[in-house]
A and B are shown apart, each in its own frame.
Chain A
Amino acid sequence: MVKVILRNMWRRKARTFLTVFGIVVGIFALTVLGGLSARLTQQVNGAKSWFTNSISVVPSGGSLFGGENMFFTLDKVDEIQRVPGVKEAVAGIGLFVKDSQNFSFGAPDLIVGLETAGAQDLLKQLNVDEGRSLQSGDKGVVLLGSTLAEKLNGKVGGTVSLRGQEFEVIGILQPTLSAPDTFAFVAYEDALSLFYAANPFIKQTEPIASNVYVTWELGTDPEALAKDIESQVSGVRVISPSEAEKQISQFSLIFNAILFGIAFIALIVGGLSIINTMVMSVSERTREIGLKRAIGAETNTILGEYLLESAMIGFLGGLIGMGLGVLAIFFLNNATSSSNVTVFTVSLTVVIGPVIFATILGTLAGIFPALRAARLKPVESLRED
C-alpha cells in the first residue's frame, strides 16, 4: 500500500519535490525555532527559581532586573525591614558586567552586589561547585556563576576583572542552566564602588541600592507581604514571587507567540500547496479512480488512499525539515560554543513535534482532495481522458 503510494508520488517527481520542499522549509524553521524556544524555556524556568525565592523591591518604575539609572537610599531598606513578616531586607546592586550589553539571549551577565551579612539565607540556595560561597565581611572577592566563570576564564584562587576592577574568585557555582549561571556575586560595598565609577555624576555621599531582596518569616504569605510593603513604604515597586514569575514568563510568551506565528504561516503555505498538489493528482487520476471503483473499491478505500498519500507528503516534508533543522542547530551550537553560549536545545519535543505536526497538516490538507476522489462516479470517471 505504502509502496504503491510512493510510486504514485514518484510519477510527478518535480511537483512532489516542490510540495515536499515547501513543507521542509516550514518545518525547518519550526524546528530551529523550537530549539531556541526549548533553550529559552530552560533559562526562564531557572530564572524563575532564583527570582521567586525572594520578594524584589525596586525603585518605582524599575523592573525585575533593576535598572542602572534607578536606585534608592538605604533608609528605604530599613523601612522595609520594619514591615511585619519581613525576615531580612538585603540591599543589593545590580550592574551589567559589560557597559555595552544591551541585549543578550536569556539572562544578562550581571554583577549582583549583596549585603553579605543579611544575604546568607539567599546565598544558601546557590550550590557551590568549587571553593566557597560569599561570607559575611568578604571584600574584593567574587562568587561566579558557571557560564560566566568559563567566559572570564575564572579559577578558584585566581582573579577576574569586572568592569576594570580585579576580584579574587572564591567560588564557582554549579551549572543550573539558568539565570545564576551568568551572575557574579560580590559584596555590596564592592558593587557600590563599581556603580559610582560607572555613574560619576551621582553624589557619592549617600549609599544606595538598586534592588532590595526581601526574605520572609516562616509562615508568612509572600504575596500578602508584598502588598504590605507596597502600602507601607513609599516610592517603591514590589515584585512578589508570582509577579516575578509572570514577568519572566512574558519573555517566553512573546517568543512562543512568534513561534506559533511561524507555525501558522507554515500551516497555511504548506497546507495550501498540499491541497493544490493533491487536487491535481486526483484530477489526473480520475480514470484510475473510476477503474478502482468499477472493480469494487469502496469509497472509503479511495478516501484512505488519498489521505495516506497526502499524509505521506506531510510526513516526508516534516522528517526532512526536522532533520535539516536539527543539523542546523548542531552546527550553530558548535559555532557559538567558543563563546560559551548555548543557543539551542534539542529536546524530544523539538524532534518529534514538527514531524507529527507536518503529518497532521498533510492529513488535514488531504481531506478535501480525498473526498473529491471518493465522490467520483465510476462510469463518469472512466469516460474521462
Chain B
Amino acid sequence: MSNIVLKGLSKVYAEGETEEVRAVNGIDLEIEKGEFLAIVGPSGSGKSTLLNLVGGLDVPTEGHVLIDGRDTQGLSEKELTRIRREKIGFVFQEFNLLPVLNASENVQLPLRYLKVGTRERERRAAEALELVGLSKRARNRPSQLSGGERQRVAIARALVTGPALVLADEPTGELDTVNTCRIIEVMRKLNDTLNQTFAIVTHDPMVAAYTSRVITLRDGQVESDLAQAAADLHCDDGETI
C-alpha cells in the first residue's frame, strides 16, 4: 500500500506581475511506506517546495497529494494541522528552534501539541536527545549550542513523536562526517525497526549513497528516480554498522 502519491503536482509562484516561477512543475511520484529515500538536485530545483507540499505546509497550485490514499486537497487548515501533528516530523533547512526554550523543551514541543503529559514528554525528549548524542546539552538554550548541535536538536524534535513520515530538508548540512554518519545510522535504524518513512533532501553524495532510492530534481521536475542498494555505513570512528 502506498503511503504517499503525488499526481501532476505543481507549485507556481507569481513573481512580480509578469514572471512566474514554476518551483514544482508537474511531478508524479509514489512513495511506499517504509522507504528510505533521498531527494537531490541543484539549488532552486524545487526540493524544499516539494517537501512543503508533501507535508501539507503549502497547498499546490495544481495536482494532488494523497496521504494513505486520502487526497489532501480540500482538507481544512485544521485537518492539515492534525495530519502534520500526528503523522509527520519535519526537519527544516534552517533549524527553527525557539530561542527561549532549552534543547529538551524544544524537542518536547510537538509532544505538547499532542497533549502528552509532562513526565512522558520529558522522558521521550531525553530519549530523542540521547539518540542524536546530545543528552549533555538538554538544558542549554539554542544560543549556547553550535550549528551542528542545533541541527541535531531539530532532528530530535522531528523524531520524538515517532511520526510515520519524516521529511528532512538538508538535515546534515551543518554536521561533520562522523555526526552525519551517526544521524543517518539513527534514521536507518528507525526505518528498519519502526518502518518509518524517510524523505531526505541532501547535497551530500555520501548521504544519498546510504539511501535506497535517489530522486533527482531539476527545474521543478523529476530528472531521474533511481532505486539502489543502500551503501553500508562506515562511520569514521572505525565501527561498521
Which chain A residues have a beta carbon within 8 Å of chain B's beta carbons?
A: 4, 7-8, 11, 287-288, 290-299, 301, 378-379, 382
A301–B154 alpha-carbon span in the complex (Å)? 21
B224 at the interface (CB under 8 A from A): no
B171 at the interface (CB under 8 A from A): no
Residue-wise, chain B 85-103 has the 8 Å CB interface mask toward A (1 for contact) of: 1100010100010111100
Residue of A290, A291, A296, A378 near B114 (CB, 8 A) is: A296
Give A290's nearest chain B residue, CB to CB.
B96
Q: A291-B96, A296-B81 are in contact. Are A4 and B101 (CB under 8 A)?
A: yes
Report the 7 A-B pairs with minimum CB-CB distance, sorted nearest first: A296-B85, A7-B100, A296-B113, A291-B96, A379-B58, A379-B57, A295-B110
Q: Which residues of A contact B82 (CB under 8 A)?
A: 296
- Interface of B: prevailing SS: helix
Which chain B residues have a beta carbon within 8 Å of chain A's beta carbons?
A: 52, 55, 57-58, 77-78, 81-82, 84-86, 90, 92, 96, 98-101, 105, 109-110, 113-114, 157
A5 to chain B, nearest CB (A): 9
A193 to chain B, nearest CB (A): 79
Contact assessment for A291 and B81 in the assembled complex, using a CB-CB cutoff below 8 Å? no
Q: Which residues of A contact B110 (CB under 8 A)?
A: 295-296
Q: A4-B100, A8-B100, A379-B52 are in contact. Are A297 and B113 (CB under 8 A)?
A: yes
Contact assessment for A297 and B100 in the assembled complex, using a CB-CB cutoff below 8 Å? no
Can you give 24 A-B contacts (C-beta < 8 A)? Answer: A4-B100, A7-B100, A8-B100, A288-B96, A288-B98, A291-B96, A292-B98, A292-B113, A294-B57, A294-B92, A295-B90, A295-B109, A295-B110, A295-B157, A296-B84, A296-B86, A296-B110, A296-B113, A297-B81, A297-B85, A298-B81, A379-B52, A379-B57, A382-B96
Q: Which residues of A contact B77 (CB under 8 A)?
A: 299
Contact assessment for A378 and B78 in the assembled complex, using a CB-CB cutoff below 8 Å? no
A293 to chain B, nearest CB (A): 7
A315–B75 alpha-carbon span in the complex (Å)? 39
Q: Which residues of B contact A7 (CB under 8 A)?
A: 100
A294–B55 alpha-carbon span in the complex (Å)? 9
Q: Which residues of B contact A299 (CB under 8 A)?
A: 77-78, 81
Q: Which residues of A contact B55 (CB under 8 A)?
A: 294
A296 to chain B, nearest CB (A): 3
